[in-house]
Amino acid sequence: MRKSLLKTPHSGLSSRLLSPPAALVVGGRERKPAKRSNGSPYTGVPRVRVAVEGAIGGEEDVLAAKVRLLEGFVSRTDLADCTQHALQWLGDVLGSHQSVCLVRPLAEQMLFVVGAHGLRGSTLGSFSISVDDWANPLVTALTNRRQTFFPAAHSAADRRRRPTTPFEDAAFHVVPLGTGIAEEAFGLLLIGGAGPLPLELPWFISIFGQKLDQILRQQSLVEGDRRQGRERSLLYNIINAVTDPILLTDTEGRLLIANARALTLFTASEEESEGRRGAVRMNNMLLSSALSSKAIEETGAARRELLLVNPVDGSDLVFELLSTVTEDPRQGSGVVSILRNVTDLRRASEEIEEGYRKMRIAEAMARAESDRLNLIIDSVADPIVVTDAAGATSLMNEPAERLFTIPQDASAIEQRWVQANDAHFSSFIAGMLVSADQRRVGEIGLVDPKGGDAMPVEAIAGKILSDHGELNAVVTILHDRREALEKAHLYEQLKQGADELERKVQAATGDIAQQNELLRRQAIELEQASALKTQFLANMSHEFRTPLNAMLGYTSMLLQGVAGNVAPPVRRQLARIESNGRHLLTIINEILDISRIEAGRMPLQISRFKIPDLLGEVKAELEPIILRTKLTVTMQMDRELPPLTSDRQKVKQILLNLLSNALKFTHHGSITIAARRDARDRTVALSVADTGIGIAAADQDRVFEDFRQLDNSPTRAYGGTGLGLSICRRLAQMLDGRISLQSTVGKGSTFTLTLPLRGRR
Amino acid sequence: MTPKSARPCVLLVDDYPDAREMYSEYLQFSGFDVVEAANGIEALQSALDRTPDIILMDLSLPVMDGWEATRRLKADERTASIPVVALTGHALAGISEGAKRAGCDAFVTKPCLPEDLVKEIRKVLDENSTSTPKKGRRSGTYAKTSS
């Protein structure tokens, strides 16, 4: 500071100081320069050049000298130059040939030599006085603005009383330099010599003081400005060197000062791209809103986050905004804001946070997993024991605790049971630990601590090894075998029972099979018997027919007179033979029909035929008998009877039977053969109605049974095998039809054969 | 061809003598020449010897039954054209079919009155003479037995 302040006067001074100093004679002898040297530039004494020769004479001269002094001041602005001029004038005009001028620049605590006259420069160069040196009489003189005279020193004691000066032991006067009375002196003028001070000195002092004061003030102003400028630029350099944006804004958020980093964020020239300018505008808006709201809400430093856009690449930047309100009575309040880029910090902290979060989740999961595992282990009904490599139990579930830990209120015997269990289990584990087996299954005879029952358990132990194959733990699951043994026992009993049952069933099955076989054989035998019967009947009928054929044939031949004429009584007898022979043949045929039907050997021959033709044939066939009975036989047929599809021969056989029955059991009256069509059922009803003896309701079903004639007495009135209606009913069924009967005793009977118009076969 | 008398010749094959004699007597009475045979072998011999106009063949015969005899007659071209009327006391189903397969032209069930038999013979002979070149159309010639 000192150097910078005095740099300019130094250059002017130093050049003169380099020239050989004028001889400084004090008290007739040469004086050594002061030893003290502080490196001050004011070394050496300016060369004294006498401008005015001769002593001051009259008023005119004095006035002219004064004018000269003032003129010299007007043209001089440099401190040293002025001082040199003044001291020269002092020597020339007032006769003070040795003088030194000391000045305390503003804001300095030292008095420096700014000019000297009539003294050697070597002693002057290092001469300066600290104003803090209160013991120095020169400082006292300065602060008290008092002229002081120091007489020449003659002894060491004298020297101690007086300050060190370029005058050394010579006498000198000290005159303070200052302007107003009130103000502190800013400098001292030391004038050598023991004589009294010249009369014109006060004037000189006042003029010189004013001039010096003027120059010093001027210098201090310039110096102040320069210093301020330097300080400002230094400040700028400093804040520009800071990588964080720094801003000074007014309370409205307007930018006053910004460092380079802040400028890139908050300013953009017209040449910049639109995107960059947009980013800058947005940043300004964000900043001013952050600052203005902040400024309104509070004062003092506050930290907050500010999200800005990087105008260079458009990326997000997160700043920590540190604002301080500065109070300046002259400039008004401002806000100094420091933005600290915490984007990376934020990212890192987010990552750390994410890491923490994951860790917490993992931890929670691990805890949940562990809880779940514990829950599972506890929920297993079988005891589970985990043993460490040393054989100590590290974990057991609740069922295992019941077996291996002594309950608090256990009796002595219960304690023994538990201890025995523990011993058994420990021995099992010990065996497991020393063996090389990875797994071991064994049976341990434990005791149920509740009640002391023997409790054989199956122990399944597995070793848990580390990645390096070291044994970490042994997990043992114990399974109570009692239930299984009980089940096995029950199963054995059940099996025995089942075996017994099976034997019985087999025996019974054998019996049944035997009986089935017997039945089968019987069935076969029956079938064979039935077939034999049918065969027998067939053979019998054949055997019957052969002689009957001859009998009937010869009778016929006799009746025809093949062997000559026959007398009428003989003819009548022959006719009886023939009639009975025919009856016998009918019986044989009916028996054969029944056996054929029963044997299923009555084939159907389906054809399509006209009902009227069939009925005509039936009537015609029995015409001889009709004629004998003298009964009226009439036919009633629907017109447009459709043709019937059935077994013509069987239908005819049924109708012949029905008609012959009607003729047999009707003594007077009439017989009506009728054919009615039922279009809806697609059937035809062929009926034979008589006015005969009729059948009682109770007997109506029985007439269709085999070999059934209502009158079974040996003296019965009507012939016939009693097979006719039975055969008719069976034939009707074969043809998918039926025979029904309506009858009243004494009034007559109506037999109706109902057949489908189209038989199925 | 051997010369024919006016009376058609009937070869009557039946093992039951009473029946054979009865039919023989009546056939002769009715105007037929009758040659009798008691079994299948005899029937074949007589058929070759006498070349009858018609053969009445009982099916149940000793030595060789009527079915086999009929088959042989129909297989021999010398006798194949002679109509054969089967005559049987068996009334069980299948008999008539068997007879038809064996080559019988007509089928008559015993008991059959002599006059009914003569009617059947005349009918077969009539059919056979009117359609001599063709030996078909025998389906309608099966007699219905009266029962």
User: Which CATH number does the domain housing residue B14 bear?
Assistant: 3.40.50.2300
Work out the average pLDDT over A474-485: 85
Asked if the Cβ–Cβ distance from A549 to B93 is below 8 Å, we say no
Residue of B nearest to A554 (CA): B22
Work out the average pLDDT over A599-614: 84
Count: domains in chain B: 1
Residue B3 lies in a domain: no
Asked if the Cβ–Cβ distance from B26 to A596 is below 8 Å, we say no
Residue B147 lies in a domain: no
- B97 reaches A (C-beta below 8 A): no
Looking at the complex, report in whole angstroms how far the Cα of residue A683 sits from the nearest Cα belonging to chain B: 28
> How much is the pLDDT for A60?
65
Work out the average pLDDT over A587-615: 82
Of A396-400, A683-687, A753-757, B87-91, give the lowest mean pLDDT range.
Answer: B87-91
- CATH class for domain A383-480? alpha beta
CATH 1.10.287: which residues of chain A? Answer: 481-601
The pLDDT of residue A182 is above 80: no
Work out the average pLDDT over A106-129: 78
> How much is the pLDDT for A330?
67
Cα gap B72→B32, rounded to integer Å: 25
> How much is the pLDDT for A688?
94
CATH 3.30.450.40: which residues of chain A? Answer: 2-226
Long-range CB contact pairs, A484-491, < 8 A, 24+: A485/A456
Q: Where are the alpha helices (DSSP H) in A98-184?
A: 121-125, 137-144, 156-161
Work out the average pLDDT over A29-44: 44
Does the domain spanning A2-226 belong to CATH 3.40.30.10? no
Q: How many CB atoms lie within 10 A of CB A668?
A: 10
* CB within 8 Å of A95: residues ≥ 6 apart: A55, A56, A198
The pLDDT of residue B143 is above 80: no
- Considering CB atoms only, which of A546, A557, A585 is closest to B26? A557
Question: What is the helix (H) or strand (E) element at residue B67, kind and residue range?
Answer: helix B66-75
Band of the pLDDT at A59, cuts 50, 70, 90?
low
Residue of A nearest to B16 (CA): A546
- Considering CB atoms only, which of A541, A557, A586 is closest to B114? A557
> Among A45-54, A152-161, A557-566, which range has the highest average pLDDT?
A557-566
Contacts of B89 in chain A (CB under 8 A): 541-543, 545-546, 549
Work out the average pLDDT over A234-252: 79
Q: How many CB atoms lie within 10 A of CB B12?
A: 26
Q: CB pairs below 8 Å between A and B: how many? A: 66
> Among A66-80, A210-224, B85-99, which range has the highest average pLDDT?
A66-80
Contact assessment for residue A459 and residue A451, using Cβ atoms and an 8 Å cutoff: no
Contact assessment for residue A212 and residue A103, using Cβ atoms and an 8 Å cutoff: yes
Cα dihedral A674→A677→A683→A688 (10° resolution): -10
What pLDDT, in 10s, does the model give residues A292-312? 665 545 544 556 778 888 888
Residues 3-22 (B) with a CB less than 8 A from some CB of A: 16, 18-19, 22
Contacts of A589 in chain B (CB under 8 A): 91, 147
In three-state secondary structure terms, A559 is: helix
Contacts of A585 in chain B (CB under 8 A): 111, 147
CATH 3.30.565.10: which residues of chain A? Answer: 603-756
The pLDDT of residue A484 is above 80: yes
Looking at the complex, report in whole angstroms how far the Cα of residue B19 sits from the nearest Cα belonging to chain A: 5
Domain covering A242-341, topology:
Beta-Lactamase (3.30.450)
> How much is the pLDDT for A9?
41
Contact assessment for residue A47 and residue A144, using Cβ atoms and an 8 Å cutoff: no
Work out the average pLDDT over B1-25: 81
- Considering CB atoms only, which of A546, A560, A603 is closest to B93? A603
Asked if the Cβ–Cβ distance from B89 to A553 is below 8 Å, we say no
Query: Which position has the token pair 């917490």?
Result: A360
Cα gap A145→A370, rounded to integer Å: 94
Q: How many CB atoms lie within 10 A of CB B87?
A: 29
Looking at the complex, report in whole angstroms how far the Cα of residue A680 sits from the nearest Cα belonging to chain B: 36
> How much is the pLDDT for B27?
92
Residue B47 lies in a domain: yes
Work out the average pLDDT over B105-132: 83
Asked if the Cβ–Cβ distance from A552 to B113 is below 8 Å, we say yes
Proportion of chain A above pLDDT 70, given as a percent: 86
Asked if the Cβ–Cβ distance from B19 to A562 is below 8 Å, we say no
Band of the pLDDT at A18, cuts 50, 70, 90?
very low
- Considering CB atoms only, which of B92, B93, B113 is closest to A556? B113
**What does residue A31 show for φ and ψ, rounded to 5 degrees?**
-105, 140
What pLDDT, in 10s, does the model give residues A702-733? 787 766 555 555 444 555 656 788 888 888 98
Of A28-32, A100-104, A298-302, A672-676, give the lowest mean pLDDT range.
Answer: A28-32
Band of the pLDDT at B34, cuts 50, 70, 90?
very high
- Considering CB atoms only, which of A538, A545, A560 is closest to B111? A545
Work out the average pLDDT over B80-106: 77
Residue B112 lies in a domain: yes
Asked if the Cβ–Cβ distance from A545 to B89 is below 8 Å, we say yes
Residue B102 lies in a domain: yes
Contacts of B91 in chain A (CB under 8 A): 538, 541-542, 545, 589, 592
> How much is the pLDDT for A710?
57
Contact assessment for residue B87 and residue B58, using Cβ atoms and an 8 Å cutoff: yes
Work out the average pLDDT over A311-334: 77
- B123 reaches A (C-beta below 8 A): no
**What does residue A644 show for φ and ψ, rounded to 5 degrees?**
-105, 135
> For the structural domain made of A603-756, what CATH number should be given?
3.30.565.10
More confident residue, A221 or A26: A221
> How much is the pLDDT for A13?
40
- Considering CB atoms only, which of A545, A557, A603 is closest to B110? A545
Q: B92 is in which domain, residue-wise? A: 9-128
> How much is the pLDDT for A517?
87
Asked if the Cβ–Cβ distance from B111 to A538 is below 8 Å, we say no
The pLDDT of residue A331 is above 80: no
Work out the average pLDDT over B9-24: 91
The pLDDT of residue A275 is above 90: no
The pLDDT of residue A42 is above 70: no
* CB within 8 Å of A424: residues ≥ 6 apart: A444, A445, A446
Contact assessment for residue B106 and residue B83, using Cβ atoms and an 8 Å cutoff: yes
> How much is the pLDDT for A751?
93
Contact assessment for residue A86 and residue A69, using Cβ atoms and an 8 Å cutoff: yes
Cα gap A131→A138, rounded to integer Å: 9
In three-state secondary structure terms, B15 is: coil
Q: How many CB atoms lie within 10 A of CB A101?
A: 29
Is the ipTM of this structure higher than 0.85?
no
- Considering CB atoms only, which of B19, B25, B110 is closest to A562? B25
Nearest Cα neighbor of A400 from A483, A484, A486, A461 is: A461
The pLDDT of residue A35 is above 50: no
From the candidates A549, A592, A652, which should be mutated to test the interface with B, based on the most B CB atoms within 10 A? A549
From the candidates B90, B113, B115, B142, which should be mutated to test the interface with A, based on the most A CB atoms within 10 A? B113
Residue of B nearest to A535 (CA): B92
Q: How many CB atoms lie within 10 A of CB A303?
A: 10
What pLDDT, in 10s, does the model give residues A455-471? 888 888 888 888 888 88
Residue of A nearest to B20 (CA): A550
> How much is the pLDDT for A709?
57
Compute the C-alpha angle B2/B5/B8, nearest 5°. 100
> How much is the pLDDT for A123?
67
What pLDDT, in 10s, does the model give residues A432-452? 888 888 888 888 888 888 888
Asked if the Cβ–Cβ distance from A557 to B29 is below 8 Å, we say yes
Q: CA distances (Å), A399 to each of A377, A381, A402, A404, B57, in order?
A: 10, 6, 5, 9, 106
Which is it for the CA torsion A26, A27, A29, A31, positive or negative? negative
In three-state secondary structure terms, A748 is: strand
- On average, the pLDDT of chain A sits at 80
> How much is the pLDDT for A449?
82
Contact assessment for residue A289 and residue A269, using Cβ atoms and an 8 Å cutoff: no
Asked if the Cβ–Cβ distance from A550 to B60 is below 8 Å, we say no
Cα gap A121→A129, rounded to integer Å: 17
The pLDDT of residue A36 is above 70: no
Q: How many CB atoms lie within 10 A of CB B90?
A: 20
Residue of B nearest to A591 (CA): B91
Cα gap A267→A255, rounded to integer Å: 10
The pLDDT of residue A545 is above 70: yes
- B91 reaches A (C-beta below 8 A): yes
Work out the average pLDDT over A597-609: 80
Nearest Cα neighbor of A32 from A41, A19, A42, A23 is: A23
- CATH class for domain A481-601? mainly alpha
> How much is the pLDDT for A82?
87
- B98 reaches A (C-beta below 8 A): no
Asked if the Cβ–Cβ distance from A549 to B111 is below 8 Å, we say yes
> How much is the pLDDT for A494?
92
From the candidates A534, A539, A540, A545, which should be mutated to test the interface with B, based on the most B CB atoms within 10 A? A545
- In this structure, what token pair is assigned to residue A492? 């054995």
What pLDDT, in 10s, does the model give residues A185-205? 888 888 888 888 888 888 888
| Summary count for chain B: helices (H), strands (E) | 5, 5
